[in-house]
Amino acid sequence: MPLVLRGGRVFIDGQLKTIDVGIGADGKLALAGPDTPLEGDRIYDATGMVVSPGFIDILADSGGAQRRVYEQFKVADGVTTALELHGGAEDARRYYGATRGQKHLVNHGVSTKVMAIRGQYGTVAARLKQVQRCLDGGALAVSHSIEYQPADYAELLEYARLAAKYTRPFFLHLRYSSKDQELEGVKEAIRLSSETGAHIHLDHLHSTGGTWSMEKALELIRDARAAGHDLTCCVYPYSNWATYIGSRRFDSGWRERYGLEWSDLVVVGTGEHLTPRSFAQYRNRNRGSKLVAVPEGTMDLSRTVDLALREDFCMIGSDGGIEREGTANSHPRGAGCFATALRRAQDTGLGLENMLHILCDRPRKLLCPNVDDRGVIRDGAWADLVVFDPEKIRSRATVYVPGRRSDGIVSVFVNGRLAYENGAFHESAGVGVAARPA
């Protein structure tokens, strides 16, 4: 065995256990027996550390980022598989073809980006053909953001039917984020699942669907699942959201909807608080492409995220990525979502084991069989591993300086090869591969 990790607490079968973990020459895992240590050419001393499966980010967002920078910040946060299932690609076959010859630090994959497809094709029939081509080309899911680009229910129904036909989830950013309508969006998602049999995944439920009424939103989902419908959701462990200033979320009446003022909005990465004049300028300039964040505490974590994570159908998705080093115009969740989740789990009593289950097992099961050998430590699975210090784990990224790497992530292995260690990247390894249906 080329490498054996020894002395750490290993997350296996839902528990932290002290056991040797080996990485073979083929990039696959081997586990020691109950009383038999593994023999290795090299021993990695993980004493005092946690050895976890690599984290799976189901809502990664490379956007217009430099691929190298985006992947560096993901792997430095413990992510070994970054899947863009909120947006994705309008042509999955072209995406996979273009990325095949590139070197990647993380495993990667995309959904079918309905928003882009709707912008290119004028009829529902033409859109559906392109969605199907994407699914045939390896898209892991279908995705649409109906708050930002509304579509009528009949059209959504057709996308859901295609997702069900291909047994892939339909990722939805719900239609409403206002206090008086948010639950209508949850009900619409449930109706889509019940009428098509599709697995509907609700993106970042605490910012779109359950900001004010999380208990009721969770109850609706819980009851629908009990009735046999497939629904899951995700959250990110931050109390403030961010989106592009030109989006529909900032259409007329936004101050009343969210109880905010212009000065509450900050251009991410700059510290600039907006005025009525600068708000109008940014809305008109470059099609409103600047990302602005609302204040921390806008969403009460104890009444939103913490409640959702108690449910067995909720997981973590960053909904982010760092676009460039330095003063990136990106929410800090793009750099520190998973470290933040692990820190909060320990600080609130949720616990490491529960959070690791949320970060690894649940997204793997959501996307089985296409990522079945990711997010798990077992004999023969791919050696995607994170070694982290549970005492030091935390994010350093902020709204003002989003491009800061997480503390406490010591080493990250992707497909058995070292991708990151003690602040240094091993990009020459080209360790990541595309995740796609067989």
HSE-up (13 A, CA, CB side) for residue 196: 28
Q: Whole-angstrom Cα distance, residue 374 to residue 359?
A: 11
Q: Token digits for 371?
A: 């990522």
Q: Whole-angstrom Cα distance, residue 307 to residue 368?
A: 26
Q: Which pLDDT tens digit goes with each residue over 216-246?
A: 999 999 999 999 999 999 999 999 999 999 9
| pLDDT at site 100 | 87
Closest residue by Cα to residue 292 from 318, 320, 264, 317? 264
Which pLDDT band, with edges at 50, 70 and 90, does 135 fall under?
very high
Which pLDDT band, with edges at 50, 70 and 90, does 430 fall under?
confident
| pLDDT at site 429 | 73
| 86 Cβ contact list (under 8 Å, min separation 6) | 59, 61, 111, 143, 145, 171, 173, 203, 317, 319
Section 130-155 average pLDDT: 97
Q: Is the pLDDT of residue 211 over 80?
A: yes
Q: Which pLDDT tens digit goes with each residue over 237-270?
A: 999 999 999 999 999 999 999 999 999 999 999 9
Q: Token digits for 381?
A: 């699975």
Q: What percent of the chain has pLDDT over 70?
A: 99
Which pLDDT band, with edges at 50, 70 and 90, does 36 fall under?
confident
Q: Which pLDDT tens digit goes with each residue over 324-343?
A: 887 789 999 999 999 999 99
Q: What are the structural domain ranges in the chain? A: 3-52+382-429, 53-242+292-366, 243-291
Q: Token digits for 153?
A: 């229910």
| pLDDT at site 92 | 96
Q: Which pLDDT tens digit goes with each residue over 343-390?
A: 999 999 999 999 999 999 999 999 999 898 999 999 999 999 999 999
DSSP, collapsed to helix, strand or coil, labels residue 397 as coil
| pLDDT at site 412 | 98
Regarding beta strands 170-173 and 142-145, do their DSSP bridges make them parallel or antiparallel, or are they unpaired? parallel
Cβ–Cβ under 8 Å, residues 60 and 79: yes
**CATH number belonging to domain 53-242+292-366:** 3.20.20.140
| pLDDT at site 316 | 98
Cβ–Cβ under 8 Å, residues 336 and 395: yes
Average pLDDT, whole number, for the chain?
Answer: 95
> Could you tell me the fold of the domain covering 3-52+382-429?
Urease, subunit C; domain 1 (2.30.40)
Section 132-159 average pLDDT: 97
| pLDDT at site 286 | 64
Compute CA distances 16 → 81, 338, 361, whole Å: 22, 18, 14
- Which pTM was predicted? 0.97
